């Protein structure tokens, strides 16, 4: 377990001019939204809907000096509250590109932060970035994940609980890559071993790569407990160091940690290790292409407080980089609505486990960061601003 070291949440900068402008823009944007916003003096804004309470004027100072990062920081600081933050955030996410009138969007360059150079996903940088998230504590993730310890979108069928839906998702990934008896499988991004175990039980032999020592250790233990250690090898290794030739290459929501600078290297690796006639199965979170282009160099609340170095692709970006690497997309399915449901269940579990999270050494501020993170992501998928796809790929 790594010691939790969050970036300190500074007191709201006093910037009356920016706070005044932020309040005017906020009022203008909220007036068109199906939300119910109560200001500190009791004034109501919005067209009605989920309730957001602005508790103190510091909210507008954070918004004026930090834009979307300030919006999240204000929640963590208690400057705004809501009985259901995901419901409040959903209409904001649905209108992400138009909340600020286009003529005024030029002002964002004065408040949007640039991505830190120190968080580039070089081999060493990627390990440091992953360490800050995945090595927090296996027990922490266990407070809200299902028993498979799957930290990616589930795929719900009628009446499925979360665990059943996670196994359905894993089977979908394995089916796209045609994993069966005798398959040689490379997994890029081990997680806590659920997919490797499932593939081994199909009769495959699996090599799985991770750069998280915490994940490696627990994955090895879980694989041994499942009785498939003779068919699964867990390596602490960067995807760029992958070696060998495989009938199937699978990677579930790992590409979000690669970074635009290294997308060509990632897809080139997929092509390099894929045996002739083999198949690739890739699960990836996506965002609209125009927003990806507009925000590609921008630091966000998520990359500041939760996923340093993280960056989402768009579907056209996946298509472009796959094609450039000599790969063709043979199948695709969207699971965006399923991710919204997955995140809702994770957030409910995390909130219910507040006492256990405290016992693990994580304070109230950490819990509010993660409550906002899970709500923020749920809103992205519920509004369809975000999506998640399973892609099947093959050599050209």
Assess whether 377 carries a catalytic annotation: yes
d(CA 191, CA 283): 13
d(CA 77, CA 261): 34
d(CA 243, CA 255): 18
Tokens 């290297």 -> residue = 265
CB neighbour list of residue 342: distance below 8 Å, 6 or more residues apart? 153, 154, 162, 165
- Angle 300-367-71 (CA atoms, 0-180°, nearest 5)? 35
d(CA 348, CA 145): 11
- Angle 286-28-291 (CA atoms, 0-180°, nearest 5)? 20
Supply 52's token pair.
């957001």
Residue of 377, 379, 386, 393 with catalytic role: 377
Supply the residues annotated as catalytic.
Answer: 377
């Amino acid at each position: 377990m790594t010691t939790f070291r969050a970036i300190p949440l500074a007191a709201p900068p006093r910037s009356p001019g920016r706070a005044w402008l932020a309040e005017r823009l906020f009022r203008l944007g909220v007036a068109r939204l199906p939300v119910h916003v109560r200001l500190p003096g009791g004034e109501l804004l919005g067209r009605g809907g989920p309730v957001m309470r602005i508790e103190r004027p510091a909210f507008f100072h954070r918004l004026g000096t930090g834009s979307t990062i300030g919006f999240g920081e204000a929640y963590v600081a208690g400057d705004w509250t809501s009985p259901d933050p995901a419901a409040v955030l959903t209409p904001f996410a649905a209108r992400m590109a138009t909340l600020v009138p286009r003529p005024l969007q030029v002002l964002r360059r004065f408040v949007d932060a640039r991505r830190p150079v120190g968080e580039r996903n070089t081999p060493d940088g990627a390990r440091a970035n992953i360490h800050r998230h995945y090595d927090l504590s296996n027990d922490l993730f266990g407070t809200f994940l299902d028993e498979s310890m799957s930290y990616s979108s589930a795929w719900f069928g009628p009446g499925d609980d979360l665990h059943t839906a996670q196994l359905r998702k894993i089977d979908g990934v394995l089916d796209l890559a045609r994993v069966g008896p005798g398959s040689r499988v490379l997994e890029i991004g081990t997680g806590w071993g659920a997919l490797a175990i499932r593939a081994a039980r199909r009769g495959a032999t699996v090599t799985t790569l991770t750069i998280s020592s915490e994940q490696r250790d627990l994955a090895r233990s879980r694989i041994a407990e499942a009785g498939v250690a003779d068919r699964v090898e867990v390596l602490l290794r960067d995807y760029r160091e992958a070696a060998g030739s495989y009938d199937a290459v699978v990677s579930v929501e790992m590409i979000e940690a690669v970074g635009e600078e290294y997308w060509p290297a990632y897809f080139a690796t997929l092509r390099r290790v894929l045996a002739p006639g083999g198949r690739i199965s890739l699960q990836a979170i996506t965002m609209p292409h125009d927003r990806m282009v507009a925000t590609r160099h921008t630091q966000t609340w998520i990359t500041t407080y939760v996923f340093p170095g993280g960056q989402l692709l768009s579907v056209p970006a996946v298509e472009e980089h796959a094609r450039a690497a000599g790969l063709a997309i043979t199948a695709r399915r969207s699971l965006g609505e399923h991710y919204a449901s997955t995140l809702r269940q994770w957030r409910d579990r995390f909130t219910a486990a507040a006492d256990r999270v405290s016992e693990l050494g994580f304070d109230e501020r950490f819990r509010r960061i993660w409550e906002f993170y899970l709500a923020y992501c749920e809103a992205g998928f519920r509004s369809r601003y975000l999506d998640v796809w399973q892609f099947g790929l093959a050599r050209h």
